[in-house]
Chain A
Amino acid sequence: MLASLSRGQRKALQGYLYTSPWTVGLVVFVIGPMVASLYLSFTSYSITSQPRFVGIQNYIYMLTGDELFWGSVLKTLYFAGGVVLVGLTGSLACALLLNTGLRGSAFYRTAFFIPSLTPIVALALIWAWVLQPRYGVVNGALAELGMAGPGWLTDPAWAIPGLLLMNLWGTIGGSRMVIFLAGLQGVPQELYDAAHVDGASGWQRFWAVTLPMLSPTIFFNLVLGIIGGLKVFAAAYVTTDGGPAYATWFYLIHLFTQAFRFLEMGYASALAWFFFAVVLALTLIQFGISRRWVYYEGER
């Protein structure tokens, strides 16, 4: 049979065969389950029984009947906002400091990067101790300053800030900082030299040279930061399990709980697709807005 194929056909077939492990994997293990979950989102399905088609009932319940849904959306936005604002600023600040060429910067880069390598579960467990209200390091330090530390992770008002602190420690010096560093090192030195000759101050050089030249990097980190922030799950799952009193009941905690604890797979699939749609929409909006503030050197 192969003999009847032309040389081009044989080459094409060969190519497809070489790529087929990945292609088959993608179709069977990624696209297949996605399509299945889309179907399940229109069913009532608890795993132990057969799926029953319910139309858009799950989506209607999500938006109008689920008392925890909107709360979880708001908490997730609060967390993602904090992660993006403080995280991006902090990572950029770290990168700027490490880009000054100070002695031992290789050591500092490593030191800043190491926390991001800590597995999230280990990080969460360690921080649960660091933030412990009575014996934790943070409240101990606050007590030295004459301040009574809050019940991090146990007080509903402080649980999300506590998780933010935990998350930022692990991410400020991580890959985001490395990407910023790479971006900073790609800014042509002659632009700084020209600005210097023109009498620009350090702040003016940062504002007029560094930031515009870094805008594609900032955009990249912003997109990933927002997606990462919205996906908050593991730290909350390990330390607070959505509590106290639903204070850290983030969207993915809600989704996970519906799926794997309450076994509401149909509804959880609807939640997953809603999440996907929101993340996609936010990303597209960011791409749309980016034309106004992201400067790509090669384009102009």
Chain B
Amino acid sequence: MAKVTRRRFVVGLGTGAASLLFSACGAPTPTATPVPAKTAEPAQRAGVSTTTVTPTNAPTPAVSTAPATTKGPMPAEPTKPGAVAAGQPAAAKQTASIRFHLRPGGLVEEWFRKQAEAYSKAAGVEVKLELTPDAEYTQKLTTLVAAGDLGDAYWSGPFYVFYPFAARGIALDLNPLVKAENVDLGVFFPSVIKALMWDGKLCGLSYGSHPGYCTQFTNLDAYKEAGAKPPEWEWRYDKEWLDALKATTLDTNRDGTPDRYGFMFPYISQSAYTFIRSWGSDWIEPTELKTSWFTQEKTVAALQFMHDLVHKHKVAPPANGVVQNMFANGLTAAWQDGTWDVANMGDLIKDKFKWQAFGMPAGPEGKKGAFIGNNSLSVNKSSKYPNETFRWILWLCSKENGLAQADSTTPGPRFDVWADPKVANNPNYKDALRWISEISQPASFPKNARVTEFNTTVTQGFQAFMLETGNPRAKIEELNKAVQAILDKPLL
């Protein structure tokens, strides 16, 4: 036998490692597996009703898109134990095990755990929650895709993996399953469904959606003290709204730094988007999604208005003067935010002052606009259990679960959720309903699905623009160039 030299040993090890490496690299990128038209299981078993349901209380007369009656089933059965049992086999035998990716955290995580247990009992399908911290979520899921080990279902949002996975065909087109299970998508707000589409494919469903940064949390005491009326739906940014901001801005010692600003907006892309759309423009040309619109006249005007709020009118804090919880601490009389904070605002403010959430005003031409943000649930195209996974998603998107969401974050995106007294009687959701049902539309995102890159670039560029006092227009030009460079790249 040949002598085992150090060199031979290292060469042997290297060859072994290289083989391992190549076999790992050679792992195929997940490919689509054909989705069975329908499994043998009856729909009821997974909690999908097949009875025709008429939604109670049409949300508002203004909602013209709301179906008077919805044909077909509600997407999922309620979570109440009694209701879950209805139409279910008494003791469902577990036939499948679903891996579900989501972010950990507080009430929502707890809610998912309960849902997983309830669904497991009711449908006989085990649901394993796989939690990944928010900061690592995108990289974890992407790495799992590369390893061919992505679970059956995954949570996502517009700034996470939703679009890249939809564009790359990782997300299963749910349309055939919707048809096969006779699910009526008409119970959801149309804009929400539109935001879940990619190239005509339905790439997920949403259990909680918001109409963007269209909410202004308002300190009613500050408004009263300043003699200003609370915000009204018809207000325009450059008229009544600006007057109110000026009235509620307080600089008691007149040192140029207000003790309380009239308004505060987050220095991120999404808050600017509300202004841009309300000015009747967009950040990307909305049809082809391949051309930056940051230098469009109306986009510039909207951004300039935000700039003026800070530097000319001095009614909003500059980017380098923002501190945490300014609104709750009474340092600003109003705050641009979203419906997701309605549930928690009371705890944050306690009895410091009276507050209410209103919708943002209209642009100079009377237009309002923002984007739909979905907590989307998608099915992995490579899942062995597409039907079971789809039913799990439907389960999470039920009316009852949509209402439960309102306890900790934004309510479910269904007409019947927003028509329920729990949401409908809450004055903080009054304007938001009109936004989610009539106004906010899916965001215009890059056709090449580079949403995260786009969002990061816009946020940083927006901050640079807002901080610039010399030649802010130059910063817009820079931003436009940077965005166009992203749009010119190939599909992610």
Contacts and interface: CB of A to CB of B under 8 A. Distances in A.
Interface stretch (A45-53, A186-194, A196-204): A45-53
A243 B320 contact: no
Nearest to B485: A67
B164 interface: yes
* Most chain B Cβ neighbours within 10 Å, of A16, A36, A150, A257: A16
A131 B150 CA distance: 41
B463 interface: yes
* Most chain B Cβ neighbours within 10 Å, of A4, A259, A260: A260
Given A47-B146, A260-B139, A243 B459 contact: yes
A47 B145 contact: yes
Contacts of A155: 320
A154 B18 contact: no
A245 B467 contact: yes
Contacts of B464: 156, 245-246
Contacts of B323: 132-135
Contact of B320 (A23, A132, A151): A151
Given A32-B18, A32-B20, A16 B145 contact: no
Contacts of B452: 261-263
A9 B170 contact: no
A9 B3 CA distance: 7
Contacts of A132: 323-324
A24 interface: yes
B68 interface: no
B456 A261 contact: yes
A28 interface: yes
A261 B141 CA distance: 11
Nearest to A246: B460
A245 B482 CA distance: 13
A12 B319 contact: no
A178 to B, nearest CB: 32
Interface string B112-152: 00000000000000000000000010110011011000000
A120 B144 CA distance: 27
Contacts of B10: 23
B17 interface: yes
A16 B29 CA distance: 36
Q: Is the interface of B mostly helix, strand, loop or mixed?
A: helix
A262 B450 contact: yes
Contacts of B320: 133, 150-151, 154-156, 158, 244
Nearest to A133: B323
Given A49-B29, A245-B460, A36 B21 contact: yes
A249 B9 CA distance: 44
Contacts of B107: none
Interface string A28-41: 10011001100000
A237 B17 CA distance: 34
B474 to A, nearest CB: 13
A262 B491 CA distance: 12
A126 interface: no
A151 B10 CA distance: 56
Contacts of B482: 67
Interface string B252-276: 0000000000000001000000000
A1 B2 CA distance: 11
Interface in A197-245: 242-245
A262 B1 CA distance: 53
B463 A27 contact: no
Nearest to B18: A32
Interface of A: 1, 4-5, 9, 12-13, 16, 20, 23-24, 27-28, 31-32, 35-36, 44, 46-50, 67, 132-135, 150-151, 154-156, 158, 242-246, 249, 257, 259-263
25 contacts: A5-B4, A27-B16, A28-B20, A35-B21, A36-B25, A47-B145, A48-B142, A48-B164, A133-B320, A133-B321, A134-B323, A135-B323, A154-B322, A158-B320, A242-B456, A243-B459, A243-B460, A244-B319, A245-B319, A245-B464, A260-B136, A261-B138, A263-B138, A263-B142, A263-B452
